[in-house]
Amino acid sequence: MSAAQFAVFGHPIAHSLSPQIHQAFARQFGIALEYRTIDAAPAEFAAAARRFFAEGGRGANVTLPHKAAAFALADERSEAAMRAGTANVLTPLPDGRNAAHNTDGAGLVRDLTERHRMDLRGHDALLLGAGGAARGVAWSLLDAGVRTLTIVNRTPETADALADAIGEPARAHTRYWEDLDDIGSFDLIINATSAGVLGKPLDLPFGFVGNRATCYDLSYGKAAANFIAWARAANALHAFDGLGMLVETAADAFELWHGKRPDTDPVHDELRRQYG
My answer on whether 219 and 268 are in the same domain is no
My answer on whether 191 and 170 are in the same domain is yes
Residue ranges making up the domain that contains 128 = 105-241
My answer on whether 23 and 89 are in the same domain is yes
CATH of the domain at 136: 3.40.50.720
pTM across the whole model: 0.95
Omega cis (within 30) before 65:
yes
**Res 176: pLDDT:** 95
My answer on whether 121 and 215 are in the same domain is yes
My answer on whether 210 and 260 are in the same domain is no
Q: Is 260 a catalytic residue?
A: no
My answer on whether 137 and 96 are in the same domain is no
Number of domains in the chain: 2
My answer on whether 109 and 98 are in the same domain is no
My answer on whether 39 and 110 are in the same domain is no
My answer on whether 116 and 235 are in the same domain is yes
My answer on whether 83 and 207 are in the same domain is no
My answer on whether 124 and 190 are in the same domain is yes
- CA atoms of 129 and 263, how far apart (whole Å): 31
My answer on whether 210 and 266 are in the same domain is no
**Res 2: pLDDT:** 77
Is the CA virtual torsion 64, 66, 72, 77 positive or negative?
negative
**Res 1: pLDDT:** 54
Reading the chain (276 residues) residue by residue, the pLDDT tens digits are: 579 999 999 999 998 999 999 999 999 999 999 999 999 999 999 999 999 999 999 999 999 899 999 999 999 999 999 999 999 999 999 999 999 999 999 999 999 999 999 999 999 999 999 999 999 999 999 999 999 999 999 999 999 999 999 999 999 999 999 999 999 999 999 999 988 877 888 889 999 999 899 999 999 999 999 999 999 999 999 999 999 999 999 999 999 999 999 999 999 999 999 987
Q: Strand pairing partners for 34?
A: 5
Residue 245 · residue 192 · CB < 8 Å: no
In DSSP notation, 132-160 reads HHHHHHHHHHHHTT-SEEEEEESSHHHHH
- Per 3-state DSSP, the chain is made up of helix, strand and coil in percentages (nearest 5) of 45, 20, 35
CATH of the domain at 68: 3.40.50.10860
Instruction: Name which of 162, 87, 94, 169 is nearest 128 in CA terms.
Output: 162
Q: Strand pairing partners for 91?
A: 99
- Length in residues, the chain: 276
**Res 196: pLDDT:** 82
